[in-house]
Amino acid sequence: HRWTRPMPPPIPCCVDVPAAEALLRYGLTELLRGLGLTPDWVRRGDARLVVSADGAAEAGPLGLQVASRALADLAAPHLPAVADLGWVDVRGERWPVPVGSPGRTDRLGDLIAGSAWWLAGLQEHAMGARDRHGRVPFDASLQAALGDAPGGPLRPAVDAYRAHLGAALRAHGIETPGRTWGGALWSVALTHDLDAVRTRRMRALAGDLRRGRPVAALRRALGPDRRRASIDALHALAARHGTPATWFVKPGAWTPEDVPGGLDPWLVRRLRRWEAEGHEVGWHPGYGTHGHPARWATEADRFETAFGRLPTLARTHFLRWTEPDTPRTLAASGVRLDSTLGFAEHPGFRRGTAQPFRLFDPVADRGTDLWEMPLALMDATLTDYLGLGPKAMGERIAAVFAAARESGGVAVVLWHNQLGADTAAWEAGVDALDHALGQARADSAGIGPLEALLSAWNRD
């Protein structure tokens, strides 16, 4: 389909490690993808790049050896302490390697294994800890332990490994054409989750009157619906920056965490009109879909009825994610691109990369066709979890954008329409995002919706 690059330059490769072949192939494939290359799997004697176990005889001009301990860490993932990490020197900085022995490693194969560890979510399987919504908690992650150091939430390690591998390939006469975002060296994806579309005016009015706020009650009764008005304000924000956005809609409300009315006819009419301007509409599966296959099917059918097609883009409500069930269900429903995998409590890159990648199925032990554009920044993270004001919000947004720029990746931004009663605070947050988007444009970022950006990245 359109997200697949037609003819990426092939490089003959061989993974000669039967015990971890699928994961090592996956890690190598994703590293090469970001360098503008694709592996052509051949026999060992025909390969230009060979991944083998430590101590095995090398073949070809570039042999990537994997330490036996790194292979053991892939077979039985654990969460290493910072003191137990390996590290590799990339452009004068020490980058952590979560597999293998502590201390410096010069094995490129260990970086392949480390990439698989990050991208396949082996950290999350090793952690075990989950919050009350079933999500991976940031505080329990290796990124939290690393903080602002390389490998932390805003210094994605996989992208450093890729740069190191690219330098080694070029030293062996293998060109790395790389990728851009339609000519831009980095990008920002503008996305919105529309959890609620209409204010329950009578309930809000009664609440204001109970709290002795008659002026606010009158404003609610006679003024524009803040939730609808904020959707139009977000559309205007995108227009100011000359870009469409991706809008995720909720076809189901199953639990108290799900607000009803996600496929309001008013919203459907607007989004169908905005699609003609290049905007994208994706599926926002409800909180209560997890563990209920019939609800997934119901929501997909409702989406198809509203928009005349099955959804191809998705992000789950509350960022709920269970492997392998969630990605398998999304793919079976027609979804080809997800953007759920971020931390709820902290900005950054949960799977260690700012670049798109294909997900790995840990039970089937294989890569999948489902793309991930990792979520890097959410408004609720800045306001609800971190309690930041407008100035500090702007600083955090700028830090996320700087990380994407450094990695040549994408900063996927999630900004909700207004849900709470404080319109001034919501508008201040949008102003902070507006300023940051303007600065990103000045820094030559490509700005757009998810599908269009991935398509451009795969073409270049």
pLDDT tens readout for residues 67-83? 999 999 999 999 999 99
Please give the span between the terminal C-alpha atoms of the chain, in angstroms, as a whole number.
Answer: 15
CA separation (Å) from 42 to 51, 172, 313? 12, 19, 34
Determine the pLDDT at residue 142. 98
Determine the pLDDT at residue 2. 59
Determine the pLDDT at residue 220. 56
DSSP string spanning 117-137? HHHTTHHHHHH----TTSPPP
pLDDT tens readout for residues 112-169? 999 999 999 999 999 989 999 999 999 999 999 999 999 999 999 999 999 999 999 9
Determine the pLDDT at residue 198. 87
Burial class (CB in 10 A: 0-12, 13-18, 19+), 137: middle
Determine the pLDDT at residue 6. 53
Distance CA 389, CA 419 (A): 17
* CB half-sphere exposure, 222, CA atoms < 13 A: 6
Determine the pLDDT at residue 384. 95
What does pLDDT average to in each consecutive run of 10 residues of the chain (460 residues)?
A: 64 94 98 97 93 76 92 96 97 96 94 98 94 96 97 98 96 94 97 90 58 62 80 98 98 92 92 97 96 94 97 98 96 97 98 98 96 98 96 98 98 94 92 98 98 94
Determine the pLDDT at residue 248. 98
Determine the pLDDT at residue 43. 93
Determine the pLDDT at residue 224. 74
The whole-model pTM stands at: 0.93
**Cis amide prior to 324 (ω within 30 degrees):** yes
